[in-house]
Amino acid sequence: MLSKCRAHNGEICVLRIDPMVLDTPNVIIADRNAASDWVRFSPVNEGLGSIDPERVFSRYWTHPGDQYEEMSHKSEKCAEVLVPDCVAPEFIIGAYVVDEVAMIRFRQLNSGLPVSIKSDIYF
């Protein structure tokens, strides 16, 4: 989604969510982008085992010469935690922004949340 919205990077923050959100009842793990035709939805205790952290957190998903692997990896990088209804405010523990200007704008919201620049997640 960040790729589709890159023209607005200075107006977007990525919220940091406490991993304890996984203990919320009825949370589901999508082992890749939930809109993918290849996605598998599982309860947390099963779903976390189907996630490959090395692939999810890799910097690049491109695989020149292997279109299938590239499509698969791109989808895996978008694995999701699906929380029913809403994420309770106490699970929101901070935010990442693209640059100093975005940080100033975020701080003007007076959310009280810690914010840091992490431009490498904005692509």
The rounded distance, in Å, linking the Cα atoms of 81 and 97 is 21
Exposed/middle/buried for 80, CB within 10 Å: 0-12, 13-18, 19+?
middle
Domain segments of the chain as ranges: 1-25+85-123, 28-82
Chain Cα centroid distance, residue 25? 20
| Percentage of the chain modeled with pLDDT above 90 | 85
What is the pLDDT, as a whole number, of residue 74? 92
Instruction: Tell me the whole-structure pTM to 2 decimals.
Output: 0.84
The answer to whether 32 touches 75, Cβ cutoff 8 Å, is: yes
At 43, is the secondary structure helix, strand, or coil? strand
Residues 62-98 have pLDDT tens digits of: 999 999 999 999 999 999 999 999 999 999 999 999 9
pLDDT at 80: 95
Q: Are 93 and 113 in contact (CB under 8 A)?
A: yes
